[in-house]
Structure 1
Amino acid sequence: MRNLRLVGLLAALGVALAACGGSAPPGTTGQEGDQQGGTIKIGSIHPLTGPLAFDGQQMAKAGKFAAERINAQGGIKSLDGAKLQVLDADSKGEPEVGQSEAQRLIQEGAAALVGPYQSAVASNVAAVAERNRVPFLIDVAVADSILEQGYTNTFRIQPNASSMGTKGADYLAELAEASGTPIRSVAVLHEQTDFGKSVLAAFKARAEGSGMKVGPEISYDAVNVSDLTTEITQVKAEGVDALVVTGYYRDGVLAAKAISSVRPDVKVVFGIANGAFDLPQFTSDAGKAGEGFFDANYHFNARDPEMRKLAADFKAKYGEDIRTSSVLAYEAVRVIASGLEKAGTRDPQQLREAISGLSLDTLMAYPGPISFDKTGQNTSATPIVMQVQGGTVRQVFPKEFAEAEPRFPAPPAR
């Protein structure tokens, strides 16, 4: 009887050991540890359904496009040509869904995560990445608070809220001074989450320090809003010199249409981190209503030949003009690939170490390469200013990135 029990125990132990031996660490497919070749998984989390799907779906395509290009060039050479596989997940624009999808992707073997387009979702995903010790590359999510938690596994490629708001105020003041057009009072229309509130706080502090009066501050629900006429009517009643608008794409178009209808007597409409005013689709969707609008925002470098080739190749494949948010998703996958190449391993923590020490040339209009400080913020990330001129979005400021001269003041089309 004891022999039979011993045989049973050994058999059970063999099964258990086989199960343990057959499990692969995050990021691997069909191999153990650092065995060369194979596939390395990257989890991509974006809003693929819901009001923000317009951007989320294209960002998902851009991440896959980056992986395809890297694979076509031989994959990760330090890992014997290992190929990248991007796994999509739909956050639905909801923090809790983004959090659960991040956990699922890690459990399915993702060596790193990219995403997620919204600050509220990014905060939850960053917590998951930290708990699982897996690198998380933020392509788009602006709130300062995300990187103020002491996390060591989260990195952000775009500028943070403080940079966006502060530089936005500086650019508005500089353009006004250069044109001899005083801007003494500014109304702010912003979406109501951490994204909008954090950009507003930074803008207000800098603008008031420069002598501008900021107010009224008008917030709205970007997910559910269907019309902004009431909000723009309030701006008109205040008689301010300028209107600053912070939000996403759909609400940016709604704002332009409301401005055209209500006709506030402002000298300029100035987007700061606006998800609409600097996109080529905006000129079609808003029509003449958006003519002259400015946007201080992160942007791809339209003067870079490599960026122009990416835009052409992306349009040839997908039939769409690539948007800046999608370029950031593309760059996030490039950062992970460069980290893997440098680390020579798919181990997530060694990958994290490699990413933290990277210096990578970028397609973005930044003054230097992608490089991260101790909090995970890209030290080169900074916004520039675009303007809709003649139905085309042009880079206009600072001069080193300008395609055209800024036209300031620029009262809304009537």
Structure 2
Amino acid sequence: MRKPWITAMAVALPLALAACGGSAPPGTEGGEGGAGGGSGETITIGSLHPLSGAAAADGQQMDNGAKLAIEAINEAGGIESLDGAQLELASADTQGAPEVGQSEAQRLIQEGAVALVGTYQSAVSQNVAAVAERNSVPFVIDVSSADAILQQGYRFTFRLQPSAAVLAERGAEYLAEVSENAGAPAQRVAILHEQGPFGTAITETFTATAQDLGMEIGPVISYDPASVSDFTTQITSVREAGADVLMVAGYYRDGVLVANAVNTVKPGLDAVWGVANGAFDTPQFPGEVGEAGEGYFDANYRLDMTNPETQELAELYEETYGDEIRTAAVLSYDAVRVIADALERAGDASPQAVRDAIAETELDSLIAQDGPISFDEAGENENAAPILMQVVDGAVRQVYPEEYAETEPVYPATPGQ
């Protein structure tokens, strides 16, 4: 029977919880946080995201998304198969640093978390996945695309978003199809990517696929997202190379810096083409960069705004936090839902039982994808798939493939002119 978590959430008064309080240690019975569970039991889920540092805006959104899921589930009566047990969220700041994420994951597990969600940066998720495996505690990745995370034979780690391979392959294919349909096929693609596992994995697969489709690649430029402050030199190199498309794989802050540099240098591109870019498809991006971001593309996971439940969540998020919800926050919401659904079906809050139930998940997603959330043997969401978005008239719109399109893609879309 489908739990009415969204419906309960939409009518509930927003709760200001960071991690529901209580005098008992997290994950034990009798904790005051989550009062209202029929059995008095509280079940702790750990949330690991960058709440400070360069990616703090995204990390806070994701933690907020996880909190709203906890509130919705508790307001709807908690985990019925466990006598109405309530959930609580234990939030930890990874600072975007792999070693901090690792130590915080270990702390949350020691304090009783039965499952973890996170983490946004692939390098952090790699370390957290190792901790989760070592402790036999399930870890549901909301956002982190690097293929290597799930190539270790792990049994306790699952990923909701599309892998880097899927994102990059589709991103290159969409570029070929959209540009050819417009009569201006992409010929030379420059690449600008963050230097961590995420950006590197995207670049490697995108390059191979684009070359197979007849495109030339170069230059390929990497950068440190934590320290970069300006991209004028890099965009000048792109202009001098004569590239007609710039593919960018990075995070929000660096995406804004790229748009500003392209607007300054005016490299004469047919398109700036994000692949899993943390900026170009967010509702905040057009407002922050103005006309400099007009026409930008991004092939990425996307919240499904044709779904009434997603619409309700977006409205509640804005009412609660005074900000438009980003897709990453919806993935965090879904990650908590996956764990709650597993608890409900297992009727058992032990990490092993939760892990086994997660492996059998068939749950409708609030993200646009090819079917329900369902995991293969490696822990990948089998139905996860990106769609193509573009900034059109100052707003992010879904433009390709046709079945998801709100409007047609504009190509060429020369930025900074």
The answer, yes or no, to whether TM exceeds 0.5 is yes
Report how far residue 265 of structure 1 moved: 1.2
* Count of equivalent residues: 388
Instruction: For 2:94 and 2:309, locate their aligned partners in 1 and report how far apart those are by CA, in whole Å.
Output: 31
Kept in 1, the 8 Å contact 2:25–2:111? The answer is no
Instruction: For 1:80 and 1:325, locate their aligned partners in 2 and report how far apart those are by CA, in whole Å.
Output: 31
Aligned to 2:11: none
Report how far residue 36 of structure 1 moved: 4.5
Instruction: For 1:110 and 1:187, locate their aligned partners in 2 and report how far apart those are by CA, in whole Å.
Output: 44
The structure whose Rg is larger is 1
Report how far residue 222 of structure 1 moved: 0.5
Query: What CA deviation, in whole Å up to 9, does each residue of 1:16-60 have, x standing for no partner?
Result: xxxxxxxx99843339xxx94411000000011111101111111
Kept in 1, the 8 Å contact 2:50–2:96? The answer is yes
Query: What CA deviation, in whole Å up to 9, does each residue of 1:184-210 have, x standing for no partner?
Result: 110001111111000000100100000
Report how far residue 251 of structure 1 moved: 0.2
| Counterpart mapping for 1:226-245 below 5 A | 226-245=229-248
Instruction: For 1:319 and 1:26, locate their aligned partners in 2 and report how far apart those are by CA, in whole Å.
Output: 29
Q: Select 2:305's aligned residue among 302, 306, 328.
A: 302
Instruction: For 2:306 and 2:344, locate their aligned partners in 1 and report how far apart those are by CA, in whole Å.
Output: 28
Aligned to 1:373: 376
Instruction: For 1:340 and 1:27, locate their aligned partners in 2 and report how far apart those are by CA, in whole Å.
Output: 14
Aligned to 1:319: 322
The one-letter code matched in structure 2 to 1:30 is G
Kept in 1, the 8 Å contact 2:280–2:296? The answer is yes
More helix by share: 1
The one-letter code matched in structure 1 to 2:347 is G
Instruction: For 1:268 and 1:292, locate their aligned partners in 2 and report how far apart those are by CA, in whole Å.
Output: 7
Aligned to 1:263: 266
TM-score normalized by the length of structure 2: 0.91
Instruction: For 1:386 and 1:46, locate their aligned partners in 2 and report how far apart those are by CA, in whole Å.
Output: 25
Kept in 2, the 8 Å contact 1:27–1:112? The answer is no
1:168 aligns with 2:175: no
1:62 aligns with 2:88: no
Aligned to 2:395: 392
The one-letter code matched in structure 1 to 2:30 is G
Kept in 1, the 8 Å contact 2:264–2:416? The answer is no
Q: Select 2:342's aligned residue among 339, 342, 345.
A: 339
Query: What CA deviation, in whole Å up to 9, does each residue of 1:88-125 have, x standing for no partner?
Result: 00111110110000010001100000001011100110
RMSD, aligned α-carbons: 1.4
Report how far residue 355 of structure 1 moved: 0.4
The one-letter code matched in structure 1 to 2:277 is N
Q: Secondary structure at the match of 1:28?
A: coil
1:202 aligns with 2:208: no
TM-score normalized by the length of structure 1: 0.92
Q: Secondary structure at the match of 2:276?
A: strand
Q: Select 2:46's aligned residue among 43, 46, 50.
A: 43
Q: Secondary structure at the match of 2:209?
A: helix
Report how far residue 404 of structure 1 moved: 1.1
| Counterpart mapping for 1:278-293 below 5 A | 278-293=281-296
Structure 1, unmatched stretches of 5+, are 1-23
After TM superposition, the runs of 4+ consecutive aligned structure 1 residues lying more than 6 A away are: none
Q: 1:133 to 1:26 in 2, by over 3 A?
A: farther
| Counterpart mapping for 1:204-219 below 5 A | 204-219=207-222
Instruction: For 2:104 and 2:231, locate their aligned partners in 1 and report how far apart those are by CA, in whole Å.
Output: 33
Aligned to 1:74: 77
Kept in 2, the 8 Å contact 1:26–1:111? The answer is no
The one-letter code matched in structure 2 to 1:143 is A
Kept in 1, the 8 Å contact 2:50–2:56? The answer is yes
Aligned to 1:274: 277
Query: What CA deviation, in whole Å up to 9, does each residue of 1:58-86 have, x standing for no partner?
Result: 11111011000111011111111111100
Q: Secondary structure at the match of 1:274?
A: coil
Aligned to 1:154: 157
Aligned to 2:13: none
Instruction: For 2:88 and 2:26, locate their aligned partners in 1 and report how far apart those are by CA, in whole Å.
Output: 13
Aligned to 1:220: 223
Aligned to 1:30: 30
Aligned to 2:19: none
Aligned sequence identity (%): 58
